[in-house]
Amino acid sequence: MRYRTIHGTDISVSEVGFGVWTITTGWWGDVDRQRSVNLLREAFEFGINYFDTADTYGRGFGEEVLADAGLTSAGMRDKVVISTKFGYDFYNHAEREGQHERPQNWSEEFLRFALEQSLRRLGTDYIDFIQLHNPKSDAIDNDALFELLEEFKREGKVRAYGVALGPAIGWRQEGLRAIHERRVQVVQMIYNILEQDPGRDFIAAAREAGSSLVVRVPHSSGMLEGHYDENTTFPENDHRRHRPKEWLVEGVRKVEQLRFLEESGRTLGQAALKFCLAEPEVVSTLPNIYGREQLEEFAAAPDTPDLTDEELDRIAELYENNFGLAPASRR
């Protein structure tokens, strides 16, 4: 494993982190508490020291499971980096059927309450970095909100702060303004070989402003692991089952053109992570880990060969031409 430091801090994170969302929300199949605990413990043994969660994951389970795994215990706390997210008021608003966004609350009263609840569930007295969860323009415009985040730092309850961005909720402009105007230390974004925009804009902005980036969905919801074909089916409670067939067919056709990345002692899944890590502004990646085999493969990725300039140029050419497919479909 290799490690990178979040710009402007002394927080060092593993190049491959563990996004707890996959094993605590039920969007990727059945959730088994003990299996989740075991995977988190094994991840640390593989050198992963960075774990990302949110208060909404499993209505708090995404934080509790880190404590269950012993990662926030007295002998472990200074060996791991934990980021969580707040802003959604799931305490006063029940989850609705289907994919709906809960109301957000950026008031000091609510955020203080939410932060204390996260600390309690995690079993710790500080969070390495807190993230505004899918903030829209009203949050980025809120001077009092960012003053409060600075106050949390002064109080020692958080070491750094940033934003976690979500497509179709708040995305390009929110991210650019958070970097340029708010000078956040960390931005979490979706970025991968198949979905490079607006991530490329964030990379350029972070390079200019001195911010760091964390990449989630580096495998494009599993597509870049290289195991799907046009007849792949997903379990009933896996969110990918409900995507249009075109997503699967087009993705598989694109992935077949990326098989050259497997020729240098890497799996395609490892190459997908190395693509993200080719940008120095990216300090960590959060692959969707939901099994031991994936954990072993992804944790080994930093020690595989870097992508060459020729490989990166070929990826760029494929992306710019939508992998020869029409019509182009980009997020």
- As a whole-number percent, the residues of the chain with pLDDT over 90 amount to 74
pTM: 0.92
pLDDT for the residue 95: 61
Amino acid residing at 201: D
Of the listed ranges 94-108, 216-230, 256-270, the least confidently predicted one is 94-108
Q: Is residue 270 part of a domain?
A: no
Q: How many domains does the chain have?
A: 1
Residue 20 lies in a domain: yes
- pLDDT given at position 241: 61
CA distance readout (Å), 321 to 87, 253, 268, 272, 316: 38, 14, 21, 19, 9
> What pLDDT does 331 receive?
39
Pairing of strands 81-86, 50-52: parallel
The C-alpha atoms of residue 229 and residue 212 are separated, in whole angstroms, by 35
165-183 average pLDDT score = 90
CB contact set of 295 (below 8 Å; sequence gap of 6+): 39, 42, 43, 46, 289
Q: Which residues contact 320 (CB under 8 A, 6 or more apart)?
A: none
- pLDDT tens digits, residue range 279-328? 999 999 999 998 899 999 999 999 999 999 999 999 999 999 999 897 64
> What confidence score (pLDDT) does residue 231 get?
75
Cβ contacts of 72 within 8 Å, gap of 6 or more: 66, 80, 82, 122, 123, 124
Provide the residue range defining the domain that includes 24: 3-221+282-305
Residue-wise pLDDT tens digits, 35-50: 899 999 999 999 999 9
Q: What is the CATH number of the domain that holds 286?
A: 3.20.20.100
Give per-residue pLDDT as tens, 187-216: 999 999 999 999 999 999 999 999 999 999
Tell me the average pLDDT across 62-77: 94
The C-alpha atoms of residue 231 and residue 212 are separated, in whole angstroms, by: 39
Instruction: Enter the DSSP assignment of 16.
Output: B
Is residue 315 in a domain?
no
The reported pLDDT for the residue numbered 41 is: 97
Q: Would 311 be classed as within a structural domain?
A: no
State the Cα–Cα distance between residues 127 and 123, nearest whole angstrom: 10
> How does residue 235 score in pLDDT terms, banded at 50, 70 and 90?
low
Q: Could you tell me what percent of the chain has a pLDDT over 70? A: 91
pLDDT at 98 over 60: no
Overall average pLDDT of the 81-92 stretch? 94
Note whether residue 144 is domain-resident: yes
- Judge whether 324 lies within some domain: no
Rounded distance between C-alpha atoms, residue 281 and residue 212, angstroms:
5
pLDDT of residue 97 exceeding 70, the answer is no
What pLDDT was estimated at residue 330? 45
d(CA 275, CA 129): 25
- Answer whether residue 253 is part of any domain: no
Q: Mean pLDDT of all residues in the chain?
A: 91
Given a cut of 70, whether residue 26 has pLDDT beyond it is: no
Would you place residue 224 in the very low, low, confident or very high pLDDT band (cuts 50, 70, 90)?
very high
Q: How confident is the model at residue 30 (pLDDT cuts 50, 70, 90)?
A: low
Task: Identify whether 329 is part of a domain.
Answer: no
